[in-house]
Amino acid sequence: MLSPRGPKACGGGAADRQIHVLAVDDSSVDRAVIARLLRSSKYRVTTVDSGKKALELLGLEPNVNMIITDYWMPEMTGYELLKIVKESSELREIPVVIMSSENVPNRINRCLEEGAEDFLLKPVRPSDVARLCNRMR
């Protein structure tokens, strides 16, 4: 899963082409944590609290470089959001990362098979965000 590239200057890039990450989580605490983690790597971050709002935002702004979403959310799970993104011709190129507090191998495999870029176990840490930098679109 880890691509053997050499050291790369990772980070959000210059303001005019700043990498934009959409973070989806129904927990306000987790949204604050993931936003801070991503912003400290200089990414531009938008947070939403549901899959439905994520899709609304993507409809208006499809040039998102990565979607990072919680798995367990009411109404629409992260897995369901992943499927919709991967089935959409406009959105399917956007890498999707799933986060979960539970280490369930079946769940992880299903997400990866559906096209998830990576699966992070919560609590998310700076080292988790660092390894995503090569996966941005």
Partner 1 sequence: MSLMALREQLNGLVNSMFLEGLLDDQFEQLQMLQDESSPGFIAELITLFCGDSERILAELTKLLDQAVVDYQKVDAFVHQLKGSSSSVGAQHVKLACVQFRQFCEEHNKEGCLCALNVVKHEYYLLRGKFDTMLQLEQRIQAYESKQQI
- Residue 40 in contact with partner 1, rule: CB under 8 A: yes
CB 70 within 8 A of CB 27: yes
- Coil, strand, or helix at residue 118? strand
Q: Which is nearer to partner 1, 34 or 64 (CB)?
A: 34
Provide the minimum distance between the beta carbon of 13 and partner 1 in the complex, in angstroms, as a whole number.
17
Tokens of 34: 């993931």
- Residue 29 in contact with partner 1, rule: CB under 8 A: yes
- Choosing from 13, 55, 72, 114, the residue that interacts with partner 1 (CB under 8 A) is 72
Total chain residues near partner 1 (CB under 8 A):
17
Containing H/E element for 57? helix 51-60
Tokens of 135: 């996966």
DSSP 108: H
**Locus of tokens 């990072």:** 68
Tokens of 7: 């050291």
- Residue 123 in contact with partner 1, rule: CB under 8 A: yes
- Residue 9 in contact with partner 1, rule: CB under 8 A: no
- Choosing from 65, 122, 132, 136, the residue that interacts with partner 1 (CB under 8 A) is 122
**Residues at the interface with partner 1 (CB under 8 A):** 27-30, 32-33, 36-37, 39-40, 72, 101, 122-126
